[in-house]
Amino acid sequence: MSINSFGHLFRFTTWGESHGPALGATVDGCPPGVRLEPAMIQQWMDKRRPGLNKNTTQRNEPDTVNILSGVYEGKTTGTPIQLMIENTDQRSKDYGDILNTFRPGHADITYHQKYGLRDPRGGGRSSARETASRVAAGGVAREAIKAIAANVQIKGYMTQMGTKKIDPAKVDWDQIDQNDFFCPDAEAAAEWNDYLAWLRKDDHNSVGAIIEVVARGVPAGIGAPVYAKLDTDLSAAMMSINAVKGVEIGEGMAAAALTGRDNADEIFMGSDGPEYSSNHAGGILGGISTGQDIVVRFAVKPTSSILSPRKSIRMDGSPTEVVTKGRHDPCVGIRAVPVGEAMMACVILDHLLLDRGQTGGVRGSIG
Ligand SMILES: Cc1cc2nc3c(=O)[nH]c(=O)nc-3n(C[C@H](O)[C@H](O)[C@H](O)COP(=O)(O)O)c2cc1C
C-alpha cells in the first residue's frame, strides 16, 4: 500500500509527524540534470512557514530544507531525492490535556477508531505540518518544469475569506505577495486584516477560505483521457490537503447554473493556433489541457482549534468541553496557498513527463 505517496512518474512520499524530530519527502522520478540548490526550494518553504506574521500560527519554525540525496554538484542525478525539514519549535505540553480527548473537527477520533492508538502531539501525522514536505517536493517540481516547459507559471491566491469575496475584476497578481493573505486585491486584504484580527482576538473564532491556483503557459495536450485525467489528478491533489472540503475546476459548481450557450468556450483560429472566447472549462477538455490557463479552486474549512469551548467526549465516552490553546492559524487558507501551488506543480510536472513518455511530444496539427 502506498497511501503516503502521490503521483505517477514524478512521485513523492511524505513522512514524519508534527512533533517528531523531522519530517520530509522522498521524491522519485525527477529527471536527471535539473539544476537544484536548497535555496530554490527554500523560497517556497518560506511562503508556507509558520510564524511569519500575526495572521498565522505563532509556532516559529525556520523550515530549513536539507537535500540528503539525489543531487550531485547542483544537479539532480535521477535517483531518489531525500528532503528533510527539522522540527525545532515543538511544545508538546500544549497538547497534554487532549491525550484522552477528541478535539472536534480534528482527526483524533478517526485515527483512534481506525488504528487504536495515535501520536497526540500536535495532531501527529494529521497535522498540517505534513504540508511542509509537499511544498519541498513542489519546489523540486518547479525546477524540473523549467527544464521542460520554461513558460509555465504557477500562482495561487486567496479569493474569499469567510463570506468576504474579492471582485474577480480586481485580481492583480502583483499584489499577491504584498500582503499577509496572498490576496490579489489590496483593498480586500486590508478589510480581511481587520476582520481576522477581530475574529481571533475578540471572538475567539476562526474562518474558512477559498484559494484559486492557476497554471499559465501549460502547453495543449498534457493530461490523459480517462483515469488519469488532468482534472482528476488535480482534484485528488488539492483534496488531499488538510482541511480541504471542496475542489472545482474552471466554472466548477457554478457550471450547473449555466446553459450550454453560456458555457461554450468558442474556438477561433489565431495567428499562433486555436484561441478561445472564454475559459469556463478551466483549461481542460476531456482530461487534456487546452493551452489556456488551468484554473483550480479549493475551499478550506475554518480552523477547528479555537479558544471558544466546543462539546466533545473523552476516550472513555464521558462528555467534556474542548478549548484549544496552543498556537493555531486563525484562517488556514493563508498558508494553504503555497501548498496548493506545490500540488499544482507536482501534477503538472507528472503530466509533462507522462506525455513525454507516451507521445514523445507528437501533436495533431491545426491550420
Ligand atoms: C496550512 C494549513 C495549516 C493548518 N493549521 C491548522 C491549525 O493551526 N489549527 C487547526 O486546528 N487546523 C489547522 N489546519 C487543518 C487541520 O490540519 C485539519 O483540519 C485536521 O488535520 C483534520 O483534517 P481534515 O480537516 O482534512 O479532515 C491546517 C491546515 C492547513 C492546510
> What atom in ligand 1 is closest to the CA of residue 57?
8
pLDDT at position 327 over 90: no
> Is residue 339 lining ligand 1, measured as CB closer than 6 Å?
yes
Q: Which of 168-172, 179-183, 301-305, 326-330 has the lowest mean pLDDT?
A: 326-330
Q: Has 114 been labeled as part of a binding site?
A: no
pLDDT at position 326 over 70: no
pLDDT at position 1 over 60: no
Q: Please give the pLDDT value at position 166.
A: 96
Placement of cell 507528472 in the chain? 350
> Is residue 234 lining ligand 1, measured as CB closer than 6 Å?
no
- pLDDT bracket for residue 334 (50, 70, 90): very high
More confident residue, 58 or 313: 313
Q: Which of 95, 303, 335 to mutate to test the pocket of ligand 1 (most atoms within 8 A of CB)?
A: 303
More confident residue, 18 or 237: 237
Q: In what order do the strands lie in the sheet with 244-249?
A: 164-165, 153-161, 209-216, 294-300, 244-249
pTM: 0.96
Collapsed DSSP state (helix, strand, coil) of residue 219 = coil
CA distance 176 to 184: 4
> Is residue 18 lining ligand 1, measured as CB closer than 6 Å?
no
More confident residue, 246 or 59: 246
CA distance 13 to 20: 17
Q: Has 304 been labeled as part of a binding site?
A: yes
> Is residue 304 lining ligand 1, measured as CB closer than 6 Å?
yes
- Report the DSSP pairing between strands 75-76 and 71-72: antiparallel
pLDDT at position 320 over 80: yes
Q: Which of 242, 247, 331 to mutate to test the pocket of ligand 1 (most atoms within 8 A of CB)?
A: 242
Residue nearest to atom 9 of ligand 1 (CA): 328
DSSP secondary structure code for residue 93 in this structure: G
Q: Has 303 been labeled as part of a binding site?
A: yes
Q: Has 261 been labeled as part of a binding site?
A: no
- Report the DSSP pairing between strands 81-86 and 22-28: antiparallel
Residue (of 164, 263, 207) closest to 55 by Cα position: 207
pLDDT at position 113 over 70: yes
Q: Please give the pLDDT value at position 94.
A: 62
Q: Please give the pLDDT value at position 261.
A: 97
Note the pLDDT tens digit of each residue in 161-194: 999 999 999 999 999 999 999 999 999 999 999 9
Q: Has 325 been labeled as part of a binding site?
A: no
Collapsed DSSP state (helix, strand, coil) of residue 267 = strand
> Is residue 57 lining ligand 1, measured as CB closer than 6 Å?
yes
What are the grid coordinates assigned to 10, written together?
514524478
Task: Provide CB contacts within 8 A for 136, sequence distance 6+.
Answer: 24, 25, 41, 44, 45, 65, 83, 85
Domain ranges of the chain: 5-359
> What atom in ligand 1 is closest to the CA of residue 336?
1
The stretch 113-121 carries a mean pLDDT of: 88
> Is residue 121 lining ligand 1, measured as CB closer than 6 Å?
no
Q: Which of 87-91, 243-247, 255-259 has the lowest mean pLDDT?
A: 87-91
- pLDDT bracket for residue 99 (50, 70, 90): confident
* Burial call 258-280: b when 16+ CB within 10 Å, e when fewer: eeeeebebeeeeeeeeeebeebb
* Centroid of ligand 1 to alpha carbon of 186 (angstroms): 26
> Is residue 175 lining ligand 1, measured as CB closer than 6 Å?
no
The stretch 66-80 carries a mean pLDDT of: 98
Phi, psi of 317 (to 5 degrees): 90, -10
DSSP, residue by residue, 26-67: EEE-PPTT-B--HHHHHHHHHHH-TTSSTTS--------EEE
* The CATH number fitting domain 5-359, selected from 3.50.50.60, 3.30.565.10, 3.60.150.10, 3.90.226.10: 3.60.150.10
